[in-house]
Structure 1
Amino acid sequence: MEALSRANGAFALDLYRALSKESPDASLIISPLSISTALAMVYMGARTCTHTEMGKVMRFDQVPEVHSHLHTLMGKITTPSSSHVLNLANRLFGEKNFGFSPEFLAGIQKNYLAELQAMDFLQATEEARQTINQWVKEKTENKIEELLKAGVLSKMTRLVLVNAVYFKGSWMHRFKKEQTQEMPFKISRLETRPVQMMCQTKKLPYGWVPDLEIQVLELPYTQKELSMFILLPPEGKTLIELENKLTIENLLDWTHPANLDDGSDVVLHLPRFKLETSLSLGDTLSGLGMGSLFDEATADLSGMSANGGLFISTLAHSAVCDVTEEGTEAAAATAAIASFCMFREEHFNADHPFFFLIMHNPTRSILFLGRYSGPQ
């Protein structure tokens, strides 16, 4: 399980860095675990070069029995809880004229509780798009209404891979709405924009990374099964230096309970914010080394179907994250920690761009990952 969580985390950070470089100044939110799980269904049907590329990029080649381990991990993460709601759903939408392998369909049903839905992309492209969007809308509690934009699908579409995730959690320590006030958020050295800044002083797990001068703060949700972690660089420094240092080893080390002091009062200022990201990940994943999957000429998905020409034409991902006084609603990586400061009060003022993630603490799995660069 640990090997799988690390593999998923390493892939998550590779994907995040690639997307960050494409839009270096924009806020971003993705659900890497959902993407990994959805791609794993394709990995089950990939062969030869496509299987090799996917295994290398996603680190699946380092995890024995990856599909059964993912099945177990999904079971642990989506176990019903009184503290939060977490729904994760994946589906493959395939052209009905392709005869998909019964062994493949049985495999994704067993390991991912997922189905392949036959679609008529050739004669009913727009109807297919509406069907897929409606499925996503239902799975995300109406938070994501149009995953696939008009024109994304065509008569050449053969297979669409869709992932949907919905999360809603309540803070263990809720903010008081009457303490929220408008304050300036420093977009850059020369620009500020107003945000609604939530404020509280609580004993919260807090750490410090001396090499990068990064503050680390854990905001647990009720029952502490899930937490949001915020990594805040010093004012005046960009997120780029932090992002370049992010490895899964660093991230797990910086956020480990043993490296966070929970005895100090933390004076916290955190923006109330909502992020929405809609992405087509084909080009990004190709750039990471998964190119054959999206290339009709070279893709080998013969484990899905004996028919030739099958490839992933669209990989769409959309995520929404809403952080408020009550908690978070979301739909959609080696420096040592320094000794703790002897002062019993720390100031954590997130009034400039920061990196954040939402983690399932028992498995150390990253559910959401992103950055807040200020109001757009």
Structure 2
Amino acid sequence: MKKFGAGIEHVDFDKPHETAQTINQFVKENTMGKIPSAVTPDSFGDETSVFLVNAISFKAKWCNRFRSFLTKSGEFHISKTDTAQVQFMENRSYFNYAVLDELNATALQMDYEESYLSFVVILLNTRVGLYELESRLKNYDLSKVTDQMTYKLVDVKLPRFKYECKMGMNEMFKRDDANLWGMLDPLIIGPPLFISNVIHKAVIEIDEDGTVAAAITGF
């Protein structure tokens, strides 16, 4: 627990409403309120013995911030024929930039203030072909993207957006296949432990000032 900075809290799974409230309060506090809840009372059953949850958050400002008065509405291509009206941020400044001929795309690196992290955008040169690009990136060494970059003056036009995703996985391990004996004393908990449900939520928000992101995973 010391190695991972983790804590342990005793809860009563026979009181699912109180347990859900305790977990959701932890999630809300550790994601700066971006993810207000992760579980419901129905998340726990009669055989629930342990619930593992981690939560992270990130907030940083751009080194080269966008000026709000330059943001204006424009068309964003969402398919070969369809568009959507979104708010485009604009900035003309020096960034790391690369032309990726092998991916038929360009790449831009936007640094954050007082951070070793950065935001990298890979943009297709054509209106269609996103799925093909995603497939090629699965086995692509992303360091090759930044290695090709040069520092130059770039006109950036980026949509302001907020994206949320939620995923779940049931029956990750079947009871007879799980090997989690080392977690708890089997003489105390009775039947063997196995993972019955996995919950994941993530959110990222991009605006003129920077980036706010948060994620939680529960087992």
Q: TM-score, normalised by structure 2?
A: 0.89
Instruction: Tell me the SS of whatever aligns to 1:328.
Output: strand
Percent identity reads 35
Larger Rg: 2
**Structure-2 residue corresponding to 1:120:** 12
Amino acid at match of 1:117: E
Is 1:306 aligned to residue 198 of structure 2? no
Matched length: 211
Q: CA deviation at 1:141?
A: 1.4
Give, in whole Å, the separation in 2 of the partners of 1:161 and 1:233: 39
Instruction: Tell me the SS of whatever aligns to 1:229.
Output: strand
Counterpart of 2:122 (choices 231, 245, 268) is 231
Ranges in structure 1 where 5+ consecutive residues have no aligned partner? 1-108, 333-376
Give, in whole Å, the separation in 1 of the partners of 2:150 and 2:205: 27
Give, in whole Å, the separation in 1 of the partners of 2:185 and 2:140: 40
Instruction: Give the aligned CA root-mean-square deviation in angstroms.
Output: 1.8
Instruction: Tell me the SS of whatever aligns to 2:158.
Output: strand
Is 1:110 aligned to residue 7 of structure 2? no
Q: CA deviation at 1:126?
A: 2.2
Whether the 8 Å contact between 1:160 and 1:312 is mirrored in structure 2 is no
Counterpart of 2:207 (choices 319, 324, 327) is 324
Distance 1:168 1:326, change over 3 A: same
Q: CA deviation at 1:183?
A: 0.3
The answer to which structure has the higher strand fraction is: 2
Give, in whole Å, the separation in 2 of the partners of 1:171 and 1:190: 33
Amino acid at match of 1:296: R
Whether the 8 Å contact between 1:158 and 1:312 is mirrored in structure 2 is no
Counterpart of 2:162 (choices 274, 277, 299) is 274
Amino acid at match of 2:154: V
Equivalences for residues 331-342 of structure 1 within 5 A = 331-332=214-215
Equivalences for residues 347-366 of structure 1 within 5 A = none
Q: Which ranges of 4 or more aligned residues in structure 1 deviate by more than 6 Å?
A: none
Give, in whole Å, the separation in 1 of the partners of 2:74 and 2:99: 25
The answer to which structure has the higher helix fraction is: 1
Whether the 8 Å contact between 1:183 and 1:195 is mirrored in structure 2 is yes
Amino acid at match of 2:211: T
Equivalences for residues 195-234 of structure 1 within 5 A = 195-234=86-125
Instruction: Tell me the SS of whatever aligns to 1:242.
Output: helix
Q: TM-score, normalised by structure 1?
A: 0.53
Equivalences for residues 94-109 of structure 1 within 5 A = 109=1
Q: CA deviation at 1:322?
A: 1.1
Give, in whole Å, the separation in 2 of the partners of 1:166 and 1:146: 14
Whether the 8 Å contact between 1:147 and 1:278 is mirrored in structure 2 is no
Instruction: Tell me the SS of whatever aligns to 1:240.
Output: helix
